[in-house]
Structures are given as structure tokens and as C-alpha cells.
Structure 1
Amino acid sequence: MSTMKLMLLCLSVGALCAVHGEDPYLFFTWNVTYGTISPLGVPQQGILINGEFPGPNINSTTNNNVVVNVFNNLDEPLMFTWNGIQQRKNSWQDGTAGTMCPILPGQNYTYHFQVKDQIGSYFYYPITAMHRASGAFGGLRINSRLMIPVPYDDPEDDYTVLIGDWYTKSHSSLRKQLDMGRSLGRPEGVLINGKNAKGDGKDEPLFTMKPGKTYKYRVCNVGLKNSLNFRIQGHPMKLVEMEGFHVVQNIYESLDVHLGQCLSVLVTADKEPKDYYMVASTRFTKTELTGLGIITYTDCKGPASPELPSAAVGWPWSLNQFRSFRWNLTASAARPNPQGSYKYGGINITRTIKIVNSARKVDGKLRYAVNGVSHVDAETPFKLAEYFGVADKVFKYDIISDEPSATAEENISLTANVVKQNHRDFVEIIFENHEKSIQSWHLDGYSFFTAAIEFGRWTPEKRRNYNLLDAVSRHTVQVYPNSWAAIMLTFDNAGMWNLRSAQPERAYLGQQLYVSVPNVARSLRDEYNLPETTPLCGIVKGLPQPPPYSA
């Protein structure tokens, strides 16, 4: 690409090409529209990307610049978030209500982000309203650069498997249900890549395998409500990667995949050449819902057996499986250095934040809260308010304490929930779940070390049980009923980052907050400038641009 063309490209997408111009660019144009789909046999309104449900896969490589021009042809504002992509120094592109203005109907916006120093399996989805309930989600993979070895042989092929529970109501109906103060209730089924095989011999296979070859399956739970147990009929799975990090390669007959989580497994086609079922079924529910998908061999000689492999049972089984996950300390990362060179267990903790989720009715309507505060978005995104110097007119920092009071669960207030965090502090976050249902939490902009998950209540003495050597670094963590989870991370990524329930219903009704990691020095070393193409809204619309960050 010529220098002139590169400069024009930078102007068009608001990129910092002086920093990243040497890395390849991937361009995508997405037309987002409504369309009729029938994944469970019931016609319903879906949200399509370029006519596809699910949306197209983004296939990238470490350090690629991803440029996605989104045309919003819906009748509502729209915004995409990139689940697990760390957006180094670039929360401007994170795609949440606290960082960006949405794409208005009939308009377009170009996202530009770099998958810097990352590998692994991720997905994207629309975070506005309840749009995810109608589609517009898809896989996002980051392949390792050729110069960086991976700890297994190249597979014959690489497949994305999107599993998730599904409602037959439209996203607008589900949103109206939440706005009226009612829970979504139980979903109607489970989908695998937008389908559920009927098992009548007429199902088209989702994937094909050659006898004797090994394949990589990237499995992500893109659903709304439930953890899912995933297995492949007659085929053990070798776990090799979780949310961007290589793991110790254990063999599993089935794997629990919680909301928002992704993992990669290797599967060898060494069985009788015929059809086999992929199975995804709900966990920890009174009634088990099951989704099926067909895998076939190239020289298929018969249909899949109707006898499905059984799912795991109980919370202890799932917790024990979590404890079997270990970081592969001998494997390379996205950079040419050992993953285990980061000795997180030897870093002093500078702050401990305890997060307690709760559910209560406020004025007769269901709300979810964090430490007694049910988050409400503002008309002006918090990040823009900070950048333009008008944060005090939009929200207040630190309205929750690091240690919630005993009455925090009983009295819920509705307001913006923004926590200020010093840049580069090493922080411990405790998620304590006092409810009877499983929780799943996601943090934008970061990966964190999942040091422990245990039943009961957390106390400082529990640190003796932490895994301080090889806990898997992830961006999503599950918390079982009446249990707690401890994560540890360095807040080294300046910006405004969303910590939310991975269950969209709960996030929509307030179970989320934002962590502001200020760029106090206003330095380009810590954070990029606001892209020139960024649309403005709320009270910052029409304000003069602040002085840009300096080197």
C-alpha cells in the first residue's frame, strides 16, 4: 500500500497509522437489516448482517487492523461490541454505551481496532437494547502469526461453533417485557450456528471431516440465559485454548461453556465414517433444553445414532472441571516470549473490590444491581464526558464502596455506576453470588487471572487457596450459586471499560458498572486520541475539541 493511500485510509477510519501502519488491514462492510428467520421452526424477525444469520466470521491474525463499516438499516440505534478483544489504549472503539454514541438508523460508522498481541477465539454481538436476542452475532478468531509456534500441529481445518439458548419472541418483545418489570423467563430452545437439527435424516451437516484428520473447533456460548454443556457424539475433545490463552491439553468428553465464554478443542476423525451429533444442552435448569448439529465424514456411510451422549450433572462437577483448567506455561503467546514470564502471583495487591450482585423490585419493576446500585446509562457516554472535561455534569465517581454494606442488597438505587481506578494498579476483584442461579461476568479491555472459585463467602483467609502459578487468563468468569470467584489483574489499559453481567437481561436491567482508568498525563503512550470520525451526542455535541494527547 502506498504512503498516500495509507494516509487516506487513516483519515477515513480515524486510525493512528503512524503507530500501526506496518500491520495488515482487514476491511469489512456490514449491512445490518431485519429479515425473517425460523431457527426453531417458528418464523420470527431476525437481525441479519449482509443477509446472514448468524453473522459472518471475522478471520484475523495477531496485530491485524480490523476495519468494519457498519450500515444501520434497522429502525433503532445500534452498536457492536467485540467480546474479549482488548482494544489496547482504545476504549473509543469498545462499542458500549459508556464509551460511544450509537449508530443511528440510516447512518453508518466505521469501527477500527487492532487485535494487538492477541490470539484465540472470540465473538462479536450488538450490545444495544436486546438486539442480541435476534441475531447479528458472529465468530471472531485471531490466528497466531507464522513466526510464533503453537503447541499443537496445524489442524486440517478450523471451525467456529456458536452455541446459545434461543427465544422465539422478537428482540423488541423481549425488551418490552423487561421494561414492564418482568424477567425473560425460560428460552424455547438451543441453537448451534443458528440451527437445531431435527434428526430426521434431512439435516444438512454443519461441518465435514476427513477420516484420520484432526480439526479445531472454536466453541462460544453466545446465548442469553444459560450455561451450556457441549459434547460431540463418540469423539473426545482435547482442550487447547480458552479466551485467548493456550492451556494444558487435557481430554474431555464434555465441556461446560458459560455465557460469554469461548474455548478451542482438537477433534480427530478416527471413528466409523458416518454422521455424528454435536450436542449443546442447558445446565443447572429444571428442564433440560438441547440443541443438535450434524458433523459428517467425507465418505459417510450412515446417519448419526439417535442415542445422544449424556450431559454432566450438578454444580460440583462443573466446579471440578474449572479446577482442571491450567495455563500452558511452556507455550508461546502472541509475542515471542513464554506465557509464564508474567509472575502474577508475586505482585502485591493494591486494592480489593468486592462485587455482590442482587435482584429487587423498584417501583414494582425488576432491577438487578451491583453493591446496591442498578446502573443506568446517560445520554452522554461517560468516556466522552471525561474527554471533554464535563464528567461532573454527567455522573459521579465511586458511588459504591469496595466493601459493600450488609444492607446493599436490600436497598437498590438507580444511577450511573462508574468506579475510578488508578492506572497500572494490581487489583483483586471478588465476585460474591448470594443468589440461587449461576452468574457470569465479563470485563472489557482486559484479561484477568481466575485465581479461585469456591462455595460459600469470601474472606481474606481464602487467599491461601488461590492458584498463583498457572490460573488461566480470561475475560469472563462464572460464579456458582452461593459461591465466590476471585480474579486478579493489572489495570494497565487506560480508558473507560465495562464490567457487566454476561447475561444480557441482567446487564440491561442494571447489573453492570464502568471502570474509569484515567490517562492523567494525557499521553499518547497510554491512550489514543479521540478518532476524528467519532459521532458525538449528549452535552458534548457541538463542543470544541479538547487539546489532543501528546507524545
Structure 2
Amino acid sequence: MAPSILLSMLLCLSAGSMLMVQGGDPTIFFEWNVTYGTVAPLGIPVKGILINGQFPGPNINSTTNNNIMVNVFNYLDEPFLLTWNGVQHRKNSWQDGVLGTMCPIPPGKNYTYHFQVKDQIGSYMYYPVTVMHKAAGGFGGLRVNSRPLIPVPYDEPADDYTIIAGDWFNKGYTTLKRILDSGRNLGRADGVHINGKVARGDGKDEPLFTMEAGKTYRYRICNVGIKTSLNVRFQGHTMKLVEMEGSHTVQNDYDSLDVHVGQCYTVLVTANQEPRDYYVVASTRFTRREFTAMGIIRYKNGRAGPSYDIPRPPVGWAWSLNQFRTFRWNLTASAARPNPQGSYKYGGINITRTIKLANTAEMVDGKLRYAINGASYVEPTTPLKLAEYYNVADKVFKYDDIADEPPAQISKVALEPIVLNVTHKDFVEIIFENHETAIQSWHMSGHSFFAVAVETGRWSPEKRMNYNLLDAVSRHTVQVFPNSWAAVLVAFDNSGMWNIRSEIWDRHYLGQQLYVSILSPNRSLRDEYNLPEDVMVCGVVEGMPRPPPYNS
């Protein structure tokens, strides 16, 4: 084939995506244009963020071990950055898409993310991390399918659907940012959407999904909202839970599932009811006023619209806690194992360090801030990882500014970057303590952890007797109920700078996050990739000579 013809074909394909099979694992390429556009999930037009004109954004459909390249063009009037929630980026925090590791993409510029989805079969999502962009869109689903040689523990479904649901504010993200910058609370959301829509129930709604009687379908359910837990259910149908956040689960049936902010579940739904329309329903949880969104699921050759008998959500967070206790890891599945290999025997690994992280709401100079162990995170102008790599960390942050134990009393909240220094391959116990009356949702990037316990009251060492040390699900997000705690165990084997953050986005914006630094002990490519050649630089490292790369 002539080079000019091949180039023309590649240019034509690049507007969407293409598969390039190279000497190693296949590479999938996407080109995304990020723009403003009018969206109206609840019927009220607001300025939203679109990807290639879509709200929500396009699905990434990949297979384990694929290399993914996403060329993002920022056509907004302010910097923009995407994170790939739950993708572990082995040895590659450079591509995590958070402000502690990457400079945001300036207006009118582009950046190409390059990462591999390795050994992570499951359902994930992406979303913006800059300012309050997440409240306006720019989010979507990310699937990692199994290779044919690695069977999943259920039959191939008839089709594969993604549900991107979340709370929604009609004020617009710039107004939400002004509210937070002024020191006030956001208050409650105005409603809920499912894939950017809400069914009106007037008989004119187009279906979100289609099923055929007798067949089974895979639904990937993600809560991409900014602060509200959701309960999701299928009218007239049960869900068989098969995977959450990259781990196959024991396959229990559920009438409804609580999906907390930042979490993704995969369920199987069998079309075993009378052929007609049915609702998929998402309702807010733990809010004074309940909001519900519905979407149409249409049976092929169905003869009627949906019933108005809408299934109700459960009441109270104790129900949700009990549901958490039913989640178990499928130890017989041959796929979706976490890294490091062998860590599924986590119950026999000695804990080398215990870190307790307590969230609090504090007033600082008359403005609301959210703190962790007496400190509230602020973004430096230089990404933490760049400062560390260029050996100028002392100009940007200090390690271990917070203690491993929360202070008994907070006299003054510090506003600073928070970075914990963790030894490579340490096996760490993290206790998330919630002393407030609002539910929390915590995420860890770069790693999966074993969520061994979620309990009420205060944690003490004696509580370890209640840990699930056999088949706790390996995941990357965990909820913490009011006046409760959650314990997770994690092998910090992935070198880099990794974000531990609140998925409640107003809390994240106002300081409820930190970073964990895991340095390669030998400065070796076996532990961490070099700084990419095309990486964006900013802050104090801009113009500095690039440090020598790792050579082995």
C-alpha cells in the first residue's frame, strides 16, 4: 500500500477510534474534542461539557492488556484534565490524570494520554478533575473486557450496556464553584439523571436499552455524581451482581443496589418478564428529599408501556451497611485478579503500618474547608510528582505533614499539599474514620485495596477480630457511613504519586484529599516508567533541564 494512501486512511479513522496491532499488545486510539454545549438532563438548559459533542461522553470499549491512547483537545476557556477512575496505571502515575501528577491541558491545547489496562477486567469510568467540571459533564464509561483465553465466570451476555447515573445541579458548574469559593455549602442537588436523561413517563420516551425475552444482558452501573449515593433497581427484574471495580464477586441476586459516589458495579439482568416496557430507576439515598430518575427498557415486540408501580428504594443507611456485608470476592474465578499477583492471600500478610484518616468539616478564616487529620489540601502550581522527579520537592511540599493518627483536638487547620511517604511494597492498613453525620466515599488511585470492614462507632485495634480476611472484595472505592469507620488493606507495590481522595466532589474541591508517594528504591524501570517525552510541564520545573532517565 502506498504511504500516502495509508496516511489518508489513518487520518480518516482518527476522528473516532482505531485498533493498531503492533509487535506487543494492541493499541486503541481515540481523538476527543472537549467543548461547551447546552445540556438539560432535568429539562432546564445549562452550560455543559461535551466530548465529541456527546453528553455523557463516549464509552471506551477495551480488552485487558490493551494500550489506550486518548488525544484530548481542550476547547474550553480554562484548563481541563481527565482521570481514569479505577485504572491502576501500573508504574505510570504520569497518566493518572490528577493535578498532583499532571499539568492540566491549557485552553486551545491538546495532550495524549497513554496507558495500559492490564489485568483489570471490569467496569470503570472517566471524569474531569479540574475545578467543578465534573458537575457539568465530561464523563463516561470505560469497559475492560476479558480476552477470549481468560473466561469470565458467567455466559456471554446478549448485549452490554452502560448506565452512567448521578445527581445533577441546575445552577451550572461555574455557579457551584462560586458558592464553594465564597465559603458556603452546595446544599442538595436538584435531581438525578440516567445517561444524561430522565424519562417523563408520558408514553413518548425513547428507550435507553432494548432486551429480548429469554436473553440475559450485562449492565455496567456507575455513580458519576458529585455528592449523592444512589439506589438502582430494575422494575420487575432482579440483578445478579458479578463484578465491582475490577473484581468478580460471589453472584448474589439483588432487588436493588446502593451505588455510592465513584463506584461501578456490573450486573446481569435476564429478560424473563412479560414483553413490554419497564423502568430502570435511580433514587437518591440519605437525603432529606428523595429524587428519582427513570429510564425506559424496551422488550422487543413488547405490547405495552411500563407500569406506574415504581419499586421504592430502601430506607436508612443500616440497610446499605448490611448489603455491603453480602459482597464477597469470587475466589474461584480465573480472571480479574489484582496486582501484585498472590495478594489475594492478603489475610496472611503482616501489616507494616497503620494509617488513620479522619475527615472533618472546619471553618478557616470564615470559610468552609474539609480536612484530613487537621490539614486541608490545596493544589500547588507545580504537580507533586513533577517536583519530586525534578528533585525540587522541598520547594513545593513537605512529606508527612500529617500524622498517622488524627489529632485529639484540632486548634488550627493547616492549608497545604498533603503527601504521605510510604515505603515501596509496604502492606498498609488504612482506617477511614467518619465523625460526621454525612456519608463519605473514598477512592485510591493506582491500587486496589481489600475492603475488610465497614462498621459503626470508633475503630480500635480489637476491631481487627471482625475483619474479613478471606474473601473481601478487592476494589478502589469504599463508603464510610455516618459516625462509622472503614478498614482497607493495601499492598503499596505500585511506584508513583497516587491520590487518595473524597469522591464527594465539593469535599474534594475544598481539601479532602491527599497523595501517597511511593518511590522506586532503585530508580529502576522495573518499578516505574520514565517521565514521558511529551509530558506537559508547569510551575517551578518549567524550563529546567530534564533529569536523567532510568536505564534499567
* 2:267 match: 265
Contact 1:68 1:112 in 2 (8 A): yes
Contact 1:260 1:476 in 2 (8 A): yes
1:394 to 393, 396, 401: 396
Q: Indicate whether 1:359 and 2:329 are aligned.
A: no
Give SS of 1:440's match.
strand
Pairing of 1:313-324 with structure 2 (within 5 A) = 313-324=315-326
The change in CA–CA distance for 1:247 and 1:338 in structure 2 (over 3 A counts) is farther
Instruction: Specify the code of the residue in structure 2 equivalent to 1:225.
Output: K
Give SS of 1:223's match.
coil
Instruction: Specify the code of the residue in structure 1 equivalent to 2:474.
Output: S
Contact 1:148 1:336 in 2 (8 A): no
2:217 to 215, 218, 224: 215
* 1:405 match: 407
Q: 1:527, CA displacement in angstroms?
A: 0.3
Give SS of 2:70's match.
strand
Instruction: Specify the code of the residue in structure 1 equivalent to 2:540.
Output: I
* 2:104 match: 102
Pairing of 1:186-265 with structure 2 (within 5 A) = 186-265=188-267
Q: 1:340, CA displacement in angstroms?
A: 7.7
User: What CA deviation, in whole Å up to 9, does each residue of 1:181-235 have, x standing for no partner?
Assistant: 1111111000000001111111110000011000000000000111100000000
User: What CA deviation, in whole Å up to 9, does each residue of 1:433-467 have, x standing for no partner?
Assistant: 00001000000101000000000000000000000
Unaligned 5+ residue runs, structure 1?
Answer: 9-19
The change in CA–CA distance for 1:318 and 1:243 in structure 2 (over 3 A counts) is same
Instruction: Specify the code of the residue in structure 2 equivalent to 1:518.
Output: L
Contact 2:246 2:336 in 1 (8 A): no
User: What CA deviation, in whole Å up to 9, does each residue of 1:394-413 have, x standing for no partner?
Assistant: 110001000111013x5311
Contact 1:343 1:469 in 2 (8 A): yes
Give SS of 1:316's match.
helix
* 2:26 match: 24
Pairing of 1:55-74 with structure 2 (within 5 A) = 55-74=57-76
* 2:518 match: 517
Give SS of 1:343's match.
helix
Instruction: Specify the code of the residue in structure 2 equivalent to 1:233.
Output: Q
CA RMSD of aligned residues (A): 1.8
* 2:505 match: 504
The change in CA–CA distance for 1:363 and 1:315 in structure 2 (over 3 A counts) is same
* 1:304 match: 306
Instruction: Specify the code of the residue in structure 1 equivalent to 2:149.
Output: M
User: What CA deviation, in whole Å up to 9, does each residue of 1:461-506 have, x standing for no partner?
Assistant: 0000000000000100000000000000100000000000011110
Contact 1:330 1:338 in 2 (8 A): no
d(CA) in 2 for partners of 1:284, 1:329: 33
* 2:534 match: 533
d(CA) in 2 for partners of 1:461, 1:87: 35
The change in CA–CA distance for 1:354 and 1:21 in structure 2 (over 3 A counts) is farther
* 2:16 match: none
User: Which one is further off, 170-179 or 470-479?
Assistant: 170-179
d(CA) in 1 for partners of 2:99, 2:359: 21
* 2:15 match: none
Instruction: Specify the code of the residue in structure 2 equivalent to 1:158.
Output: D
Instruction: Specify the code of the residue in structure 2 equivalent to 1:416.
Output: P
d(CA) in 1 for partners of 2:178, 2:205: 35
Instruction: Specify the code of the residue in structure 2 equivalent to 1:472.
Output: V
* 2:387 match: 385
Q: 1:342, CA displacement in angstroms?
A: 2.4
The change in CA–CA distance for 1:412 and 1:329 in structure 2 (over 3 A counts) is same
* 1:160 match: 162
* 1:120 match: 122
Contact 1:449 1:473 in 2 (8 A): yes
* 1:421 match: 422
d(CA) in 1 for partners of 2:394, 2:121: 38
Q: 1:336, CA displacement in angstroms?
A: 12
d(CA) in 2 for partners of 1:535, 1:428: 34
Contact 2:452 2:467 in 1 (8 A): yes
Contact 1:62 1:334 in 2 (8 A): no
The change in CA–CA distance for 1:423 and 1:21 in structure 2 (over 3 A counts) is farther
User: What CA deviation, in whole Å up to 9, does each residue of 1:77-97 have, x standing for no partner?
Assistant: 000000000000000001111
Q: 1:520, CA displacement in angstroms?
A: 2.8
Q: 1:337, CA displacement in angstroms?
A: 12
d(CA) in 1 for partners of 2:419, 2:255: 42
Instruction: Specify the code of the residue in structure 2 equivalent to 1:291.
Output: A
Instruction: Specify the code of the residue in structure 2 equivalent to 1:116.
Output: K
User: What CA deviation, in whole Å up to 9, does each residue of 1:153-207 have, x standing for no partner?
Assistant: 0000000001100011111111111000111111100000000111111111000
User: What CA deviation, in whole Å up to 9, does each residue of 1:235-286 have, x standing for no partner?
Assistant: 0000000000100000000000000000000000010100000110011111
Contact 1:85 1:122 in 2 (8 A): yes
d(CA) in 1 for partners of 2:342, 2:453: 18
The change in CA–CA distance for 1:440 and 1:341 in structure 2 (over 3 A counts) is closer
Q: Indicate whether 1:345 and 2:347 are aligned.
A: yes
Pairing of 1:281-292 with structure 2 (within 5 A) = 281-292=283-294
d(CA) in 2 for partners of 1:221, 1:97: 22
The change in CA–CA distance for 1:430 and 1:514 in structure 2 (over 3 A counts) is same
Give SS of 2:324's match.
helix
* 1:88 match: 90
Contact 1:453 1:479 in 2 (8 A): yes
* 1:431 match: 432
Contact 2:248 2:336 in 1 (8 A): no
Give SS of 1:322's match.
helix
Contact 1:329 1:339 in 2 (8 A): no
Contact 1:330 1:340 in 2 (8 A): no
User: What CA deviation, in whole Å up to 9, does each residue of 1:55-94 have, x standing for no partner?
Assistant: 0000000000000000000000000000000000000001
Give SS of 2:347's match.
helix
* 1:14 match: none
* 1:277 match: 279
* 2:19 match: none
User: What CA deviation, in whole Å up to 9, does each residue of 1:98-144 have, x standing for no partner?
Assistant: 10001000000000000011110000001000001000100000001
Tell me the matched-pair count: 536
Give SS of 2:397's match.
coil
Contact 1:331 1:339 in 2 (8 A): no
Instruction: Specify the code of the residue in structure 1 equivalent to 2:420.
Output: V
d(CA) in 2 for partners of 1:510, 1:41: 32
Q: Indicate whether 1:139 and 2:141 are aligned.
A: yes
Q: 1:338, CA displacement in angstroms?
A: 13
Give SS of 1:175's match.
helix
d(CA) in 1 for partners of 2:68, 2:174: 30
d(CA) in 1 for partners of 2:234, 2:103: 42
Q: 1:39, CA displacement in angstroms?
A: 1.1
d(CA) in 2 for partners of 1:311, 1:487: 28
d(CA) in 1 for partners of 2:149, 2:220: 22
d(CA) in 1 for partners of 2:41, 2:312: 24
* 1:35 match: 37
Contact 2:223 2:259 in 1 (8 A): yes
d(CA) in 1 for partners of 2:415, 2:343: 43
d(CA) in 1 for partners of 2:340, 2:459: 32
d(CA) in 2 for partners of 1:341, 1:536: 36
Q: 1:550, CA displacement in angstroms?
A: 1.9
Give SS of 1:85's match.
coil
Give SS of 1:132's match.
helix
